[in-house]
Structure 1
Amino acid sequence: MGALAPPVAAVRVAVRRALTGLPGPGPVLVACSGGADSLALAAATAFVAPRLGRRAGLVTVDHGLQHGSAGRAEAVARWAGEQGLDPVEAVPVRVTGAGGPEAAARTARYAALVAAARRHDAAAVLLGHTRDDQAETVLLALARGAGPRGLAGMPERRELAAVPLLRPLLDVARADTRAACAALGLIPWDDPHNADPAYARSRVRADLLPALVDALGPGVVGNLARTAALLAADTAALDELAAAALAGARAADGGLTVDALAALPAAVRTRVLQAWARELGAPPAALSHRHVTALDALVTDWHGQGPVHLPGGIPVCRHAGRLHAA
């Protein structure tokens, strides 16, 4: 038996790290498009999971946006069955809704993955985002003027509708997933959308990130991803402080006490106001920095101004030393 190719080993080690200690007896499901990243992830999971006493399955989502997409989804599902993955599903979705085709496709895809996880009582869904994807996410967040939460990039783990989503490959290079596929004799599918300059991420991938690597050296990709990890840790700590501060600032009528808010550091106070606005019913996707800044002005720059109008038609006023929804 020949030596294990280092890229194959790197992907397997990352999967083992993600699955070790995962609670619950259910299977893990790999979200696989057939691209190099998710194909390498699926192959590694098929190898690692049984050795940890865990069943592993696969879900491939057919967005129906390209000619032949149904056939590709069926081919991925067929391959998964040959690898011993079980359960295996090819799930067609209808891509509709606001935010453009990319956002609508993402919403439909995650809804399908969550539904599949619930059908099979899965312990987690594994996603194939790599270190390069994380670096691209940080650059896009910088371009948007995002704060620490946006610059923290994609988390290694988060829950969506009570389903754990894991990203084992955030410290694995995209080149390694492609090399792992080559070493295993797997032929990945290259999604033409990933090279379409109509999408900002495609332009970052094709032009901006290579230019940064040329200018600053190959370490820039890992450094951007490391920045995201550091900011994620800081953001988690600030969120914990904000949760405690929100509890301490609550008034009996459900509003927030201005004196308690004013005593908080700005980084904590703005998080408290953002969390409270969400509690009031402001849609998170529509709640912007502008809204939170306006709420903060009711605390730190009060001169009798009128209510702040949050998304969802929610007016917030200051009265008698408290902020409350009017």
Structure 2
Amino acid sequence: MLTQQILNTISKYNMFKLGDRVLVGVSGGPDSVALLLVLHSLKKELGLKLYVASLNHMFRKDAASDVEFVKKLAAKLKASFLAGKVNVSKLHDSRGGSKEDTARTVRYDFFLKAAKKFNVNKIALGHTRDDQAETVLMRLIYGAGITGLSGILPARKFEKYLVVRPLIEASRKDIELYLKDNKIKPRHDSTNSQDEYKRNKIRKHLIPIFEKNYNPGIKQALSRTAALLRDDRDLLEEVLLKPVFKKIIKTGKNNIVRLNLKELDKLHVALKKYVLRECIRRVNLKLVGIEYRHWRLIEAFIAKRKNNAAWHLPYGCRVRIKKGAVIFFNEGIKPQG
């Protein structure tokens, strides 16, 4: 049942093609273990070559055992394996922001390293329909627009790789049943039950209230909402945003992005936000740590039109006003002109 559902998702979103070299990110938990096992069972049918990567975030004393578990599983499946280890808590203390954002950034940096080592073209991750529901609800609670409420994308570009999520339409219950039927005992991360993290509180406390008192199918409903908004966002980007981006955004060497101020002024306020978002994405290749307050501050900064003024955004992105343009660039890069 789970295998067929995953096959349907893979086909629906055109996730793989014959000859793909796929890095599978595996923590040792139920979702990523099920993902690896299902892809292994389908690798001949789909024509895939699988590689495995596992990162120890050092949140728990027994986290090294999770990586060892994944290493043994990869060896059993005859898949090449890479382990990583980063003290995320220590890094978070020096960077600030949320611990979840720091962990995510570190994890994706590790996946990039592994992807380059194994020369893959796809990265497969184990996000599920439950993860999707939690993400949409969390973003709704803390505030988000159409892009944020589109949730976790089934497939998206990340640098030169395509990140795919074959479990995105599968429920956690189906995954647990699959592992039980196949007599697989995955690792369990105790931090997933701690109320320290927003996502955990939503999973443990808020969603059960919705299921009991309002809609037993709340997870499916939230996942559908994300899919509907994703379709709307895709249409908006294709018909309206891409032409605007092409007209007023110029990307140069070292991902230095220049934005024409006069053209920006002509845009509707909603379009301006999409343009600014795209500029930051082109510089940082991600939008981690960028919140609503940052958009308001950027707008206020640009409105002042102070020549040579500079402003800092999270993760090393800087903004400067110069000669009728807004320049976005990474810290350490000196834009010319």
SS in 2 for 1:159: strand
**Any conservation in 1 of the 2:259–2:325 contact (CA below 8 Å)?**
yes
- 1:205/1:85 CA distance change after superposition, 3 Å: farther
For residue 72 of structure 1, report the CA deviation from its aligned partner. 2.5
Structure 2 unaligned spans of 5+: 251-257, 328-336
Residue 118 (structure 1) aligns with: 116
For the residues of structure 2 that align with 1:19 and 1:85, how far apart are their CA atoms? 26
- Change in CA separation of 1:162 and 1:142 when aligned onto 2, cut-off 3 Å: same
Q: Does 1:201 align with 2:199?
A: yes
Cα 1:186–1:11 shift into 2, 3 Å:
farther
| Partner residue in 2 for 1:65 | 59
Identify the range of structure 1 (263-272 vs 143-152) with the bigger mean alpha-carbon deviation: 263-272
Deviation of 1:59 after TM superposition, in Å, equals 1.6
| Alignment deviations for residues 26-81 of structure 1 (CA, whole Å, 9 cap, x no partner) | 52121111211111111101100122222222222222221222222112221222
- Corresponding letter in the other structure for 2:152: M
Q: Which residue pairs with 2:79 in the alignment?
A: 86
- Answer yes or no: is the 8 Å Cα contact 2:59–2:87 preserved in 1: no
Match of 1:214 among 206, 212, 224: 212
Identity %: 28
1:126-165 aligned at under 5 Å gives the runs 126-165=124-163
CA separation in 2, counterparts of 1:16 and 1:278?
Answer: 28
AA in 1 matched with 2:25: A
Change (3 A) 1:53 1:250: closer
The one-letter code of the counterpart of 1:160 is F
Name the Cα RMSD after superposition.
3.2
CA distance, structure 2, for counterparts of residue 246 and residue 15 of structure 1:
30
Amino acid at match of 1:22: K
CA shift for structure 1 position 125: 1.4
- Residue aligning to 2:23: 29
The alpha-carbon deviation at position 106 of structure 1 amounts to: 2.1
Worse-matched range after superposition: 221-230 or 159-168:
159-168
Counterparts in 2 of 1:17 and 1:244: CA distance versus 1, 3 Å: closer
- Residue 18 of structure 1 deviates from its aligned partner by 6.0
Cα deviation code 1:143-171 (max 9, x no counterpart): 21111111111111123232221111111
Aligned residues: 309
Determine the C-alpha separation between the residues in 1 that align with 2:118 and 2:285: 33
| CA distance 1:281–1:72, change in 2 (3 Å) | closer
Q: Quick one: distance in 2 between partners of 1:45 and 1:37? A: 12
Distance 2:208 2:244 in 1: 43
Would you say 1:271 and 2:274 are equivalent positions? Answer: yes
Q: How has the CA–CA distance of structure 1 residues 280 and 79 changed in structure 2, closer, same or farther, with 3 Å as cutoff?
A: closer
Distance change (3 Å), C-alpha of 1:66 and 1:287 = closer
- Show the counterpart of 2:222: 224
Amino acid at match of 1:71: S
- Give the alignment of 1:277-292 within 5 angstroms: 284-285=287-288, 287-292=290-295
Cα distance change on mapping 1:292 and 1:196 into 2, 3 Å: closer
Shift of 1:306: 5.4
Q: Does residue 187 of the first structure (1) align with residue 185 of the second (2)?
A: yes
Aligned ranges for residues 2-13 of structure 1 at < 5 Å?
6-13=1-8
**Unaligned stretches of 5+ residues in structure 1:** 1-5
Counterpart-to-counterpart distance in 2, 1:281 and 1:29: 23
For residue 217 of structure 1, give the secondary structure of its aligned residue in structure 2.
coil
Q: How far 1:202 moved relative to its partner?
A: 0.5
The amino acid across from 1:37 in the alignment is D
Whole-Å separation in 1 of the counterparts to 2:144 and 2:118 = 37
- Separation in structure 1 between the aligned mates of residue 205 and residue 261 of structure 2, nearest angstrom: 49
Residue 91 of structure 1: CA displacement? 2.7
Is contact 1:310-1:316 (8 Å) kept? no
Q: Distance in 2 between matches of 1:15 and 1:247?
A: 31
Q: Which amino acid aligns with 1:7?
A: L
> Does the 8 Å contact 2:15/2:155 carry over to 1?
no
Render the CA deviation track for 1:282-323: whole Å, top value 9, x for unaligned: 994465434545666799xx8xx5549643563548x9xx66
Please give the secondary structure, in 2, of the residue aligned with 1:37.
helix
- Does the aligned pair in 2 maintain the 1:11–1:177 contact within 8 Å? no
**SS of corresponding position for 2:157:** strand
User: 2: distance between equivalents of 1:196 and 1:238?
Assistant: 39
Instruction: Give the distance between the partners of 2:233 and 2:271, measured in 1 at CA.
Output: 10
Cα distance in structure 2, aligned partners of 1:186 and 1:281: 39
